[in-house]
């Protein structure tokens, strides 16, 4: 069996059985394991380290934008969910309800938060009194629970981790402005941290968040051509402000309702980067979120000076801000190569007696599977740093090129069906009528992901009437 083939055979083929490939990868790389309750997942240290890196990068951006972190209760009175009719209708099938506690039946059932618009709206109603209290902009990192029927680790589980930001403003214009600003922030984060191209735009009325005036989404194309909603921002208008009495005394002395917006991404982002960058050998992790950016493998580790040189290099790279690790286990170098390749570590450095003698190091790039023994050991910090930046750019460019090539403009339901059957997104004109949107889903099992702001199509692909929008349609996770 050829080199690495035995190791690769541990996971399904990415081209012929993508769903099984995904499951094999997340389990065999120890990102997650299944929890004892149906639909739950245990995020293991390697997977949680990716989430921590995502969290750190995003949190820094929120803070720079002036958003403060807070925490709100997990349990929400059931009555809160009924105050905004569209909201409760949208979440009713997914809600988990607590009816007993302390051995007694509760006077009022409590909802395990599926999202926090209601509890945060209630608290904002207590805290906002004057125009001087605005804008009020807060974010929380927490878990939520949505009782999903069909689950898959990271992509859709009954409990998951996320951030949810909520803001209240004096005017609708300000709230809408932040809705767009956070969408741009997510897009920049996806590009520079996840190395993942995305389509951003407004959702249709059918696809919007329950209770919102407008929802804007960030959609990413996965390896199999399906779309994954990877983040959303919502303009709520005064819907939740009126439901929870979020009012303030304005400068002119009049009492007015505020305008709210919210935004969120979740551990689904881990699934997104796995399915965007992964290959037949397993994970390919973008350097900004990789728990280990450089693994150093000693060659002939028992020979004098080898382990010491590896540990010295590790210390130098760490001082330079690189997440480096020496694999000094007693496994063979070949085993280590395969293990860290499956785990998606961006760079592998091989260091043996000959390398040390020549002042060189052999470097392997996980994204291209290329090996080069011409790197100077004395300049490791600079060269490794440059390589990690190059990998980021190359990963993004590769994914962006694939997405661009697989967005096809179509003019009929038949063309759309053919496009999505071949793993593409379909760009088409739409009249704006729900009946035509529903027909696309029935005919091709595809949904409207986001509206294309560069509206160019003239007729609806279904009815032939003038197109009010150009839409990206796709099958989705």
Check whether residue 322 and residue 271 sit in a common domain: no
Check whether residue 189 and residue 338 sit in a common domain: no
- The residue-averaged pLDDT of 435-443 equals 97
Check whether residue 10 and residue 83 sit in a common domain: yes
Check whether residue 321 and residue 358 sit in a common domain: yes
Specify the number of domains making up the chain: 3
Check whether residue 27 and residue 73 sit in a common domain: yes
Give me 123's structure tokens. Answer: 């608290």
pLDDT at site 2: 47
Domain assignment present for 401: no
Question: Which of 9-18, 57-66, 401-410 shows the lowest per-residue confidence on average (mean pLDDT)?
Answer: 9-18
Sheet arrangement for strand 75-77:
75-77, 104-112, 96-101
Domain assignment present for 231: yes
7, pLDDT greater than 80: no
Domain end, chosen from 335, 364, 390, is at 390
- The residue-averaged pLDDT of 214-218 equals 98
148 φψ region: left (φ > 0), alpha (ψ -120 to 50), beta (else): beta
Check whether residue 258 and residue 343 sit in a common domain: no
- pTM of the shown model: 0.95
Tens-digit pLDDT profile for residues 452-463: 999 999 999 999
Domain assignment present for 156: yes
- Measured between its terminal Cα atoms, the distance across the chain in Å is 36
**Average pLDDT in the chain:** 95
Strands 407-409 and 425-430: parallel
Share of the chain above pLDDT 70, in %: 97
Domain assignment present for 286: no
Q: What are the beta bridge partners of residue 216?
A: 202, 233
pLDDT at site 93: 78
Among 15, 55, 47, 13, CA closest to 30: 47
Check whether residue 381 and residue 310 sit in a common domain: yes
Burial class (CB in 10 A: 0-12, 13-18, 19+), 342: buried
| Containing structural domain, residue 376 | 294-390
Check whether residue 195 and residue 267 sit in a common domain: yes
Tens-digit pLDDT profile for residues 339-358: 999 999 999 999 999 999 99
Check whether residue 75 and residue 161 sit in a common domain: yes
89, pLDDT greater than 90: no
pLDDT at site 20: 97
9, pLDDT greater than 70: no
Task: Give the angle 441-442-443 at the CA atoms, nearest 5°.
Answer: 95
Output the domain CATH number for residue 142: 3.30.930.10
Cα separations in angstroms, 222 against 39, 228, 278, 452, 470:
22, 7, 10, 19, 21
- Alpha-carbon distance of 267 to 50, in angstroms, equals 9
Burial class (CB in 10 A: 0-12, 13-18, 19+), 333: middle
Check whether residue 74 and residue 44 sit in a common domain: yes
Check whether residue 88 and residue 147 sit in a common domain: yes
pLDDT at site 8: 56
Domain assignment present for 288: no
Contact 50, 284 (CB under 8 A): no
- Alpha-carbon distance of 348 to 309, in angstroms, equals 15
Sign of CA dihedral 297, 23, 268, 222: positive
Domain end, chosen from 328, 357, 390, is at 390
pLDDT at site 149: 85
Domain assignment present for 111: yes
Check whether residue 41 and residue 182 sit in a common domain: yes
- The residue-averaged pLDDT of 218-224 equals 98
Output the domain CATH number for residue 463: 3.30.110.30
Confidence at 10, pLDDT banded by 50, 70, 90: confident
Give me 68's structure tokens. Answer: 């403060």
Angle between helices 268-277 and 18-28 in degrees, nearest 10: 120
3-state secondary structure 313-376: HHHHHHHCCCCEEECCCCCCHHHHHHHHHHCCCCEEEEECHHHHHHCEEEEEECCCCEEEEEEE
- The residue-averaged pLDDT of 220-242 equals 97
Domain end, chosen from 390, 417, 435, is at 390
């Amino acid at each position: 069996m050829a080199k690495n083939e035995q190791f690769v055979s541990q996971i399904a083929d990415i081209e012929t059985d993508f769903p099984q490939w995904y499951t094999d990868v997340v389990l065999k790389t120890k990102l997650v394991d299944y929890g004892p309750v149906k639909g739950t997942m245990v995020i293991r240290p390697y997977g949680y380290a990716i989430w921590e890196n995502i969290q750190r990068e995003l949190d820094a951006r929120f803070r720079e934008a002036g958003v403060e972190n807070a925490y709100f209760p997990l349990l929400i009175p059931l009555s809160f969910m009924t105050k905004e009719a569209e909201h409760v209708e949208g979440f009713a099938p997914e809600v988990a309800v607590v009816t007993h506690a302390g051995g007694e039946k509760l006077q009022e059932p409590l909802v395990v938060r599926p999202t926090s618009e209601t509890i945060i709206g209630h608290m904002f109603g207590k805290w906002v009194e004057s125009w001087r209290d605005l804008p009020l902009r807060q974010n929380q990192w927490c878990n939520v629970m949505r009782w999903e029927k069909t689950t898959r680790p990271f992509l859709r589980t009954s409990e998951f981790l996320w951030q949810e930001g909520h803001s209240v403003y004096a005017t609708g214009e300000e709230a809408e402005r932040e809705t767009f600003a956070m969408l741009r922030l997510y897009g920049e984060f996806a590009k520079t941290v996840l190395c993942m191209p995305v389509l951003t735009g407004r959702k249709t009325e059918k696809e919007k968040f329950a209770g919102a005036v407008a929802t804007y989404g960030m959609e990413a194309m996965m390896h199999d051509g399906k779309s994954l909603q990877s983040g959303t921002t919502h303009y709520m208008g005064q819907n939740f402000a009126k439901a929870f009495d979020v009012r303030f005394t304005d400068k002119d002395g009049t009492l007015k309702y505020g305008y709210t917006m919210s935004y969120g991404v979740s551990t689904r982002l881990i699934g997104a980067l796995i399915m965007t960058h992964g290959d037949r050998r397993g994970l390919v992790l973008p350097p900004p979120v990789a728990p280990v950016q450089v693994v150093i493998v000693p060659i002939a580790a028992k020979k004098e000076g080898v382990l010491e040189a590896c540990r010295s290099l590790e210390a130098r790279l760490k001082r330079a801000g690189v997440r480096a690790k020496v694999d000094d286990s007693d496994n063979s170098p070949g085993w280590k190569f395969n293990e860290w390749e499956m785990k998606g570590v961006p760079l592998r450095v091989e260091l043996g007696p000959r390398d040390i003698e020549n002042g060189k190091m052999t470097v392997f790039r996980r994204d291209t599977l290329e090996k080069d023994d011409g790197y100077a050991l004395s300049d490791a910090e600079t060269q490794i740093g440059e390589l990690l930046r190059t990998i980021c750019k190359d990963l993004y460019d590769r994914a962006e090129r694939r997405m661009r090539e697989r967005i096809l403009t179509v003019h009929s339901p038949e063309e759309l069906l053919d496009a999505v059957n071949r793993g593409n997104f379909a760009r088409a004109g739409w009249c704006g009528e729900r009946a035509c949107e529903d027909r696309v889903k029935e005919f091709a099992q595809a949904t409207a992901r986001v509206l294309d702001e560069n509206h160019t199509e003239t007729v609806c692909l279904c009815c032939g009437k003038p197109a009010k929008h150009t839409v990206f349609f796709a099958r989705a996770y």
